[in-house]
Amino acid sequence: MPESPTSPPPASPTNAAAPSPVSALLRATVLFVAFLALQFLLFKSLLRFPSSRFLPAPRRSNSTWANGAVDDAEECKAGLIYVYDLPPEFNHDLVAHCDRLWPWYSFCPYLSNGGLGRPAAEIPALSAVVPNASLPNWYNTDQFPLEVIVHRRLLSHRCRTIDASLATAFYVPFYAGLDVGSHLWGPNNTVADRDRAGTRLLRWLREQPFFRKSGGWDHFITLGRITWDFRRYGADGWGTNLVLMPGMENVTRLVIEGDRLDPLDVGVPYPTGFHPRRAADVRAWQEHVLSLERGNLFGFAGAPRSGFRDDFRDVLLEECEDAGSEYCRAVDCRGTRCNDNGAAVMRLFMGSRFCLQPRGDSFTRRSMFDCMVAGAVPVLFWRRTAYDAYRWFLPARSRGEEGEWSVFIDRRALRVGNVSVRDVLEGYSERRVRRMRERVVEMIPRLVYGSSADGLGDGMEDALDVALSGVLERFRRRRWSIAHEAERPPGRLVAGAPRRGSSKTTAPPTSNGRNGSVIGQRASRHRSTAASSAYIKTVLSEAPASRSKSLQQS
């Protein structure tokens, strides 16, 4: 007999047994546990992949100092620093999308801890190289996060002001290196992609009253890649055109490798893995590297470049092989061995008295700073690798002090076999080598970026302290120059006397590899001093910048 149309179907609720209170409670418990598990996974993902929250908030605020009253007025005697609050597309958003910055791997781990990277304690290979006492000061730091490291430090700097009218210097926290790095590779990346953020940033900056007032001469920026990545030559050349864009004519640039002929480029050390918290941490590391028994006369970390004709690295690898394992050890950096955690390179340098430092994709490599932090003496083959590039940080070449902390070997003589690396280095007495190593170790504080917002303390300056001192002194001299110009008859004049020679830059002929461009040789030689570099020319016109009409240094 068919069922009545009004009869409930077998599965209807009216036909089912009423749930017991126990089963309802069990279901609710399961749902609650699942919810907590999901929240935990989301929380872990936020910790693993840094977002815009990686930047610290000011500690205290008043109308003058963003981070509270300064205990000692002398600390900020050189001036106060104003940090622009840029639209997030120029910094925060780049960090938030860190998994898109490189085509080969996620850059997120390297931007954790404010750009310092993962702690060495989490990386067995690196923690095996660093003594336990120094382990909290070591991180797996990439060579390109300078912009993030400096921005984070300046937000908490004791001399940061939130009142722009009181500022001596203005910092522009644009992560230009991270931005352009995301557009350097791939078939679909265009010149417009590489220039877009810089163009928008400068449009925004020219609307700011203090930038308009000075023309940008009291503003500074950090560039976390080499300067050649920001100077495009040709319609479809390498990199972005940021440095040559209208609006950048007067902005001081702290860059890991600058153009020695452009006075606005100030070379600052590459970030290494050593980020001490205080002066005592530095001294402990200095004592450690000085006490090490170094079994190798010299070491070399690198890989031959198959795309280079007569690659000089091949020459150095042959020199190491000819010297034998008793005198030399090499680390083959093909693949990612030297980039993954830096342990192999640090172990090599900490066991060598000297380390060979040829040019890389550009004239300087991060390896030179790794070498010196490890307490080894760098052996250079291009003077531009260090002597002309880091005048605020390394002893002045003009006074002939480069021989106190480095060895220079003529690469041409080495290539043709007139000299050998082993013979040159064996010519230094043990006493002389010890003095050179002590001089290198003495320089370590100025070559590293501390992790504390308050700096190293105890009168010790790190690389950022040195850079800020130089920037503030440069701007002080410029103000002095402007005050004296006011007494002159009106006219289109520039501050200071013209410097000899030209600051015209030379374009790199080709580009290669992940680190940037291959730099062409310059015919002329240029010598600059810290004193003359303190003056810069002001160009208030917004006419397009060009290579043939570049700034002069007075």
Q: From the first residue on, what is the mean pLDDT of each consecutive set of 10 residues in the chain (554 residues)?
A: 38 45 66 65 44 41 44 80 97 95 90 95 93 95 96 96 96 97 86 95 97 96 96 87 95 96 96 97 98 96 75 91 95 73 90 94 93 98 92 81 94 94 97 97 98 92 97 95 72 39 40 35 34 30 30 28
For residue range 170-179, list pLDDT tens digits in order.
Answer: 999 999 999 9
| pLDDT value, residue 446 | 97
Q: Residue 27, exposed/middle/buried by CB under 10 A (0-12, 13-18, 19+)?
A: exposed
Range(s) of the chain covered by CATH 3.40.50: 279-447
Helix pair 343-350, 366-373: axis angle to 10 deg: 50
How much helix, strand and coil, in percent to the nearest 5, is found in the chain?
40, 10, 50
pLDDT reported for residue 16: 41
Domain 279-447 carries which CATH code?
Answer: 3.40.50
- Residue 423's pLDDT is what? 97
Report the amino acid identity of residue 116. Answer: L
What's the pTM value of the predicted model, to 2 decimals? 0.78
- Give me the pLDDT at residue 311, please: 81
- Asked whether 365 and 384 are in contact (CB, 8 A), the reply is no
Complete DSSP assignment for 210-274: HHHHHTTTTEEEEESS-GGGG---STT-SS--GGGSTT-SS-EEEESS--TT-TTEEE-PPP-SB
